[in-house]
A and B are shown apart, each in its own frame.
Chain A
Amino acid sequence: LAKTTQPISMDSYEGQEVNITCSHNNIATNDYITWYQQFPSQGPRFIIQGYKTKVTNEVASLFIPADRKSSTLSLPRVSLSDTAVYYCLVGAALFGGYQKVTFGIGTKLQVIP
Chain B
Amino acid sequence: GAVVSQHPSWVICKSGTSVKIECRSLDFQATTMFWYRQFPKQSLMLMATSNEGSKATYEQGVEKDKFLINHASLTLSTLTVTSAHPEDSSFYICSASQTSRQRTSGRVYEQYFGPGTRLTVT
Question: Is the Cβ of A98 less than 8 Å from the Cβ of B32?
Answer: yes
Q: How large is the interface on A (under 10, 10 to 19, 20 to 34, 35 or more residues)?
A: 20 to 34
- Of the stretches A20-28, A40-48, A76-84, the one at the interface is A40-48
A113 sits at the interface (CB 8 A): no
A34 sits at the interface (CB 8 A): yes
Cross-chain contact of B113 among A44, A93, A96, A105 (Cβ < 8 A): A44
Residues in B with CB closer than 8 Å to A36 are 113
Cβ contacts A73-109/B at 8 Å (1 or 0 each): 0000000000000010001110011111111111000
Residues in A with CB closer than 8 Å to B107 are 34, 46, 49
Known contacts A45-B113, A49-B108, A104 near B97 by CB under 8 Å: no
Question: Is the Cβ of A99 less than 8 Å from the Cβ of B109?
Answer: yes
Question: Is the Cβ of A49 less than 8 Å from the Cβ of B43?
Answer: no
* B30 and chain A: residue at smallest CB distance: A98
B73 sits at the interface (CB 8 A): no
The distance in angstroms between the C-alpha atoms of A91 and B108, with both chains bound, is 11
Residues in A with CB closer than 8 Å to B122 are none
B115 sits at the interface (CB 8 A): yes
Give 5 new A-B contacts, CB below 8 A, not counting A36-B113, A44-B113, A96-B32. Answer: A34-B109, A43-B116, A44-B95, A96-B99, A100-B34
